[in-house]
Amino acid sequence: MNINNTFKDMLKEKGYKLTTQRRAVLDVLQNHIGDHLTTEEIYQYVKLQCPEIGLATVYRTVQLLEELKIIDRLTFDDGCNRYELGTFGEDHHHHHLICDFCGQIFEVEEDLMDAIEIQVEKKYKFQVTNHKVKFYGICHQCHAKKHPTS
């Protein structure tokens, strides 16, 4: 279950080639676990190790990695796509908490969606294979600031 060992095989399976650019983009994502990088941010990081890379290649690679389900695409409604390394072996995105006040993003480790998905599948006869869940609200720090004495 190691991405590095199977990356080339995963590409070959679809007739794609392993290039230094593709490796470099994946490396950036692997070195920024917990972040939610935009394509532009990935481009900035990857240029440090691979200065000749073009922005278009980063856009293409990031789409490819998403297609291979190696990375997950996220949107936090700021007009651009963000990416994070997928939880390899799990076939669904994990959830995010978005604070309406400070904008901070928190990761939810638990999935907790199985029971809901079973109900949805039964009622709507829709076979669920993935989901994207975002919770909006007030984070612990912002809540403390608004209610200092409690």
Partner DNA sequence: TATTAAAATGATTCTTACTATCAATTGACA
Partner DNA sequence: TGTCAATTGATAGTAAGAATCATTTTAATA
- In angstroms, the CA 30 to CA 44 distance is 15
What character string, x for contact with a copy of itself (CB under 8 A) and - otherwise, covers 118-147?
-xx--xxxxxxxxxxxxxxxxxx--x----
Least Å from the CB of residue 61 to a copy of itself: 18
Q: Is 7 a residue that touches DNA (CB under 7 A)?
A: no
Q: Is 9 a residue that touches DNA (CB under 7 A)?
A: no
Could you tell me the end-to-end alpha-carbon distance of the chain, in angstroms, rounded to an integer? 46
Q: Is 113 a residue that touches a copy of itself (CB under 8 A)?
A: yes
Phi, psi dihedral angles at 142 (to 5 degrees) = -65, -35
- Tokens representing 71 are 């990375």
**99 has which bridge partners?**
137
Question: 130 and 117 in contact (C-beta within 8 Å)?
Answer: no
Q: Is 32 a residue that touches a copy of itself (CB under 8 A)?
A: no
What character string, x for contact with a copy of itself (CB under 8 A) and - otherwise, covers 69-98?
----x-x-x-----------------x-x-
